[in-house]
Amino acid sequence: MPKNQVYLKVNMKNKILFSLAGGILLFVWQFLSFAFPNFHKEGMQYTPLQDTLLAAIGRTGLQPGKYILGMPDPALENDRQKMEAEFKARYEGKPWAVLHYAHNNTMAMGVNMVRSFLVSCITAWLLFLILGALQVSSILARVAISIDVGLIGFLFGPYANYIWFKEPGIWAFLLDGIVPWTFLGLLAHFFLRKKR
């Protein structure tokens, strides 16, 4: 077998092994982050008013979706001044909420766990492709690049939403953008070092 074919075979084997190992790492981190010790509990709090609120929302006939409560009617979009005046008069300085509403609470745990694990494996695969394509070989550089990828995800997703909607639990998302990505960078270094 030609040398380059052996290299590609080993390289593919390392990509698959890293994707599985990295997928497990990310999947376990998600469990730790959202279940125990549940760093995200600030963003998923319980209220004893939940049954009253759900019943009241259900009676309105609201369709499933995500809503911002406390914003002007979008029908006024063509008249910017009127829209701003309505917002100031009716909503500025008053309570508001983000409502994510669904008619059926179905917890298909098996299917959701499989999908979550597959997404974790794909995420690890993509990181491995990035680190493998770069001409860096030091462990510090690989870990730093991995953390950079995690921070890009944090800044563009959760933090960008936090700027506008002040969603609770932002520090947990920052932790998600650093801790597992540090371990992925270390793991990737091991697999990329073995490859050479």
Q: What is the pLDDT of residues 41-55, one digit of tens each?
A: 998 999 999 999 999
Considering the domain architecture, whether residues 82 and 144 belong to the same structural domain is answered as no
* Residues 79, 144 within the same domain: no
Residue 87 and residue 177 share a domain = no
Q: What is the dihedral of CA 144, 11, 129, 113, to 10 degrees?
A: -100
- Domain match, 70 and 125 both: no
Q: What is the pTM of this model?
A: 0.84
Query: Model confidence over 76-97: pLDDT tens digits?
Result: 778 888 888 888 888 888 899 9
Q: Are residues 74 and 114 in the same domain?
A: no
How far is residue 6's CA from residue 111's CA, in Å, rounded to a whole number?
Answer: 37
Please indicate, yes or no, whether residues 79 and 155 belong to a single structural domain of this protein.
Answer: no
The rounded percent of the chain whose pLDDT value lies above 90 is 62
Residues 168 and 81 in one domain: no
Q: What is the pLDDT along the chain (196 residues), one digit of tens a residue?
A: 555 554 445 588 889 999 999 999 999 999 999 988 999 999 899 999 999 999 999 999 999 999 989 888 888 778 888 888 888 888 888 899 989 999 888 777 899 999 999 999 999 999 999 999 988 899 999 999 999 999 999 999 999 999 998 889 999 999 999 999 999 999 999 999 854 4
Q: Are both 163 and 144 inside the same structural domain?
A: yes
Number of C-beta neighbours around residue 41 at 10 A: 13
CB 133 within 8 A of CB 33: no
Which domain range does residue 12 map to? 3-45+108-195
- CA dist 43 and 107 (Å) reads 19
Residue linked to tokens 């998923």:
44
